[in-house]
Amino acid sequence: MSDDELAAMAREELAAACALPFAEILKITPWGDSFVGFAPSGREVEVERRYLWAHAPAGAVSVEVEVRDMAARAGAEARRVLSR
């Protein structure tokens, strides 16, 4: 699995994590979870999502996704700050 595949998967998961309406994201912040999934190549990866309060602007949420291939000791992360 290439680092490009992990980065692409992190971006896709981030888009899904940010698809919730902002009002719903506020209800679950702070929160995080992780699960085992499969990359497009079929390799097992761990996906972690986090909804955290951002430092700025006030009331914003930092949405973070990390995709890790534990066997290859590789990973990629994507994040976005959302605000009203």
Q: What is the pLDDT of residue 80?
A: 98
Q: What is the pTM of this model?
A: 0.89
| Cα Rg of the chain, angstroms | 13
Could you report the average pLDDT of every consecutive run of 10 residues in the chain (84 residues)? 86 97 96 95 95 96 96 94 94
Mark out the alpha helices in the chain (DSSP H runs).
3-17, 22-28
The reported pLDDT for the residue numbered 3 is 77
For position 2, what pLDDT does the model report? 64
Give the 3-state secondary structure of residue 46.
Answer: strand
